Amino acid sequence: MIHYLPNNAETENQLQEALRIIRDPENWCKGKMQQGNAFCINGALYAAGLPNTPIPEDQFSSDPRYTRDNIKRGELQEAFWFLRQALKLCSDHGNIGKFNDDPAIEHHQVIGLICLAIKLVQADDLGVYYEIEDAA
């Protein structure tokens, strides 16, 4: 099993770079990791330099395009873990790819998710942790 160690500075940089890549709506897409010069959230993170490591079989959900919703910190790359934490605070989606690909989700919501994940990384660096109960 792969274990990912926290590195908040690196994680924040990866999220900031992914945000820079898809900030322009023309550079964002749904349904594919990359379509021309456009990327989904996951694709933008890989384009930002996040290593594209193979996903362990036990992390796949019933839909092989997506991973399970309940993966713990350390079991997936930190940028993805923080995006999932942000997702828990603002959406019923349990998976970043499902959120990105949802026909009802718009570009500004994807940008907002990345910005919230960056704020969570910064808060984590200060020892502040947010749970869904804190958002209520």
Is residue 63 situated within a structural domain? no
Is residue 72 situated within a structural domain? no
The CA distances from residue 2 to 11, 13, 59, 132, in Å, are: 17, 22, 12, 27
> What would the two tokens of residue 135 be?
């958002």
Is residue 110 situated within a structural domain? yes
Q: Which domain holds residue 93?
A: 8-51+77-135
Residue 129 confidence (pLDDT) above 60: yes
Task: Could you list the beta-strand ranges (E) of the chain.
Answer: 34-35, 38-39
Residue 136 confidence (pLDDT) above 50: no
Residue 24, classed as helix, strand or coil, is: coil
Interval 44-86: pLDDT, tens: 999 999 888 777 777 777 776 677 778 788 788 899 999 999 9
pTM of the full predicted structure? 0.86
